[in-house]
Amino acid sequence: MFYVKRNAEGELQRVQPEPFDGMNGELHADSEEARAWFSNQNVESSLLQLKQSDLDMIRVLEDLIDLLIKKGVVRITDLPDAAQSKLMGRSRARDALGGMNRLINDEERGLI
């Protein structure tokens, strides 16, 4: 049995295994509605993980491009104007933070 809160249209807003303040109904655990709710929650959780992974990968790519530029493999001017502008803007923002948000801390050097 699950305890639920529904909005005025009867749509599920919250589903919990224990009673909670503001609940206004119950739902059988084997109901299609319960399965759909938890399936949707799993999808949302996966999308959130992918979004965070995307943010992490942006930082990895940014550091990779910076490394390639420092090694002379590529020049910033080899990139499209829009990419140059974005990289320079992010570089200025990171410099303003004083490197507080480094991808790899000193103990991890050599792992990548």
Q: Pick out the chain residues at pLDDT < 70.
A: 99-112
User: Per the domain annotation, does 103 fall within a domain?
Assistant: yes
- pLDDT, residue 23, reads 95
Q: Strands of 12-16's sheet, edge to edge?
A: 12-16, 2-6, 25-27
Regarding pTM above 0.75, the answer is no
Distance CA 88, CA 94 (A): 10
Report the C-alpha gap between 81 and 76 in whole angstroms: 9
Number of domains observed in the structure of the chain: 1
- Is 16 within the bounds of a domain? no
Q: Supply the range of the domain harboring residue 76.
A: 51-108
Residue 62 within any structural domain of the chain: yes
